[in-house]
Structure 1
Amino acid sequence: MRTAVKDVMTRRVTTVREHTPFREIAEVLVANGISATPVVDGDDRVVGVVSEGDLMRKEEFREQYSGESYRPSWRSRLRWWKAGQHAEGARKAAGNTAAGLMDAPAVTVSPFASISRAARLMDEHGVKRLVVVDDQGRAAGIVSRRDLLKMYLRDDDEIRRRVVEGIPSHARWDDRYGIIVEVRDGIVTLSGQADRRSEAMAAVRTAGRVEGVVDVRRELTWREDDLVTLPVTWDRP
């Protein structure tokens, strides 16, 4: 069974409204020990996310907006230009409510999505967390990078069981005959002798797809190479 986002997400979600003022957002983040919170509309649907980084824009631009000669650091300006966000910093610095501070639309994921899907979304959008929403677009939880790492804390025996259960029913995977499965610190070692090379390769692929597997070491042999590649011949003109 594949692990879904709902199995690892944090279910307790603290939200703010679009009209929530700056100071109240800061209080929510500090009081709850969180770095970001979803922003919801009047129907409780998620419309954006506001983070502590968004709030810090105001402090970074404070002197500039006080009429003084402050300019953001060269490194900050370069980062914003690369991300296409050179105007975003100024916008957020001027914001006084969640609506003016948040990133919108929020990057969301279904509670039934796989954790692999969640990881891809985080990578694609360059975010550290996703808002988990139900089919009505309302917040059901938060899933972070740290939550996704939980799958690597599985017991070695549990990982081995999942590897063995995932193999084709006709293959032999046991410690007496066929392919031997051993797991230590999340690293799967496949040894022994399979009937066919295709079976051995299928075993390696299966083990590699199991959540929580750090690496797969192949120490397999086979009796028959049924994946022999025929030589390519070229017709001469």
Structure 2
Amino acid sequence: MKHLRTVNDVMTHAVISVDSGAPVHDIVETMRRWGFSSLPVLSAEGRVVGVVSEADLLIKVEGTDTSHTVTAGQMMTVPPVTVPKDATIAGAARLMAKGHFKRLPVVDREGRLVGVVSRGDLLKIYLRPDADIAEELRDMLTARLIPSGTAIVHVHVDHGVVRLEGEVADAALADVLVRVARSVPGVVDVTSLLHSRVAA
């Protein structure tokens, strides 16, 4: 099954946006229709040049009837806070938490809009099947982290809680394996029953 690692793995690919020339009336109607509190503003080339939010609308057009004269380009917040599609899920979560964002535009290397990621999207990793988590962790341990003969590790996953059992060469390696297990998306907690080999 697919390993969830980057924003591209969990983002919503169908995105509602407006161009910089969109008037207030159209912006409000689009927000109402789709239930969004903010929208990315795009250039003619599809690059994200700003974000217009309900707060922008309330502050910048308060008390005036400018719904057909003020545009998204005049009201939008710049520079826009975006996240690259290849950003890690953890990195996107930190950015979202730091700025108190509910959703962020996702861009490619040229800054073109390719999707949007929300808090709910990032939480999808905690819905991963236990078998998926166990498969990814076993692949990581056997392919990269356990040289032949240095450890015998059994992986069990129940509702996102990982249990590691087995024998490792030393306590330092056991600590490394626990840190690796915690880094796998969808892991809620890790219990280690690993023990070090006793020298003969």
Which residue number in structure 1 is paired with residue 42 of structure 2? 40
Q: How far 1:2 moved relative to its partner?
A: 5.9
Alignment of 1:166-181 (within 5 A): 166-167=140-141, 168-170=145-147, 178-181=152-155
From 76, 83, 88, the equivalent of 1:109 is: 83
Deviations 1:139-172 (A, max 9, x none): 1111111111111110011111111111124267
- Closer, same or farther: CA 32–18 of 1 in aligned 2, 3 Å: same
- Which one has a bigger Cα radius of gyration? 1
Q: Size of the alignment, in residue pairs?
A: 191
From 76, 101, 118, the equivalent of 1:127 is: 101
Deviations 1:35-62 (A, max 9, x none): 2211112333211111233334468x54
Q: State the secondary structure of the residue aligned to 2:45.
A: coil
Which residue number in structure 1 is paired with residue 6 of structure 2? 4
Mapped to 2, the partners of 1:224 and 1:128 lie a distance apart of 51
Alignment of 1:78-227 (within 5 A): 96-167=70-141, 168-170=145-147, 178-224=152-198
From 41, 53, 56, the equivalent of 1:54 is: 56
> Identical aligned pairs, as a percentage?
41
Q: State the secondary structure of the residue aligned to 2:85.
A: coil
Gaps of 5+ in 1: 67-94, 226-237
- Closer, same or farther: CA 55–166 of 1 in aligned 2, 3 Å: same
Q: State the secondary structure of the residue aligned to 2:177.
A: helix
Mapped to 2, the partners of 1:141 and 1:170 lie a distance apart of 40
For normalisation by structure 2, the TM-score amounts to 0.82
Contact conserved, 1:197 with 1:224, CA < 8 A, in 2? no
For normalisation by structure 1, the TM-score amounts to 0.71
Let me know the Cα RMSD of the aligned residues.
Answer: 2.7
Higher relative contact order (Cα pairs below 8 Å, separated by 6+ residues) = 2
Contact conserved, 2:40 with 2:52, CA < 8 A, in 1? yes
Hey, which bits of structure 1, 4+ residues long, moved more than 6 A?
Answer: none
Contact conserved, 1:37 with 1:49, CA < 8 A, in 2? yes
Gaps of 5+ in 2: none
Letter in 1 for 2:125: M
